[in-house]
Amino acid sequence: MQNEVDSLPQIGTPPDGDLQHHSSFIYLRYFHGPRFQSHGGVIRGIENGVDGVALMRHQLPVKDQFSVETDGEEVLLEALPMLIEAGFQNAGLATMESDGFSSLPVGIEWTSILRVPEANEKLRVRSVKVASQDSGVTIHDVVVVGDDDAPVISLKGLRLKAMSEVSSDQRFTLLR
């Protein structure tokens, strides 16, 4: 486990704080339906990145993702896909702001799930753009932390590919 912790990207810890933009700001720009709206809002912009709130499956606008869940059966997913998705979306916001493009994930160099968060934890996500390539790919490091600032998951070398230009009425600059 110590090797995993030592390999985490050194991008700092997102602070707890009031939201600069609620999730509605994000989903005016993204196509995600309520079962995949895993970003809870923007706390602030940082140099080359964004701090935000990550939502767990039971915090999503629509919680039932599998048909058996509509019948009350609980489905537990050990890979924390909604937190990984929150990392994708947070990094995508950074690319929208800095480069003016909507993008989709095309690869991850390294990921680590360090623990399963408590059901009542408020999780925060930080993504930092660490590189850009000529092919329209931006590279990001991401960390999701819990109430105690301890890492929950981390993504290193998340690659996002530019898909389309952000329309002028959807462009933004975050407060830092």
pLDDT in tens, 49-105: 999 999 887 775 555 555 565 677 665 555 678 899 999 999 999 999 999 999 999
* Average pLDDT, integer, range 101-111: 95
Band (35; pLDDT cuts 50, 70, 90): low
What integer pLDDT is reported at residue 139 of this predicted model? 98
* Average pLDDT, integer, range 157-165: 96
pLDDT over 70, % of the chain: 86
What integer pLDDT is reported at residue 37 of this predicted model? 75
What domains sit in the chain, N to C, each tagged with a CATH number? 2-170 (3.10.129.10)
* Average pLDDT, integer, range 19-48: 85
What is the reported pTM?
A: 0.87
CB atoms within 10 A of CB 127: 32
Residue, of 13 and 60, whose pLDDT is higher:
13
Question: Average per-residue pLDDT in the chain?
Answer: 88
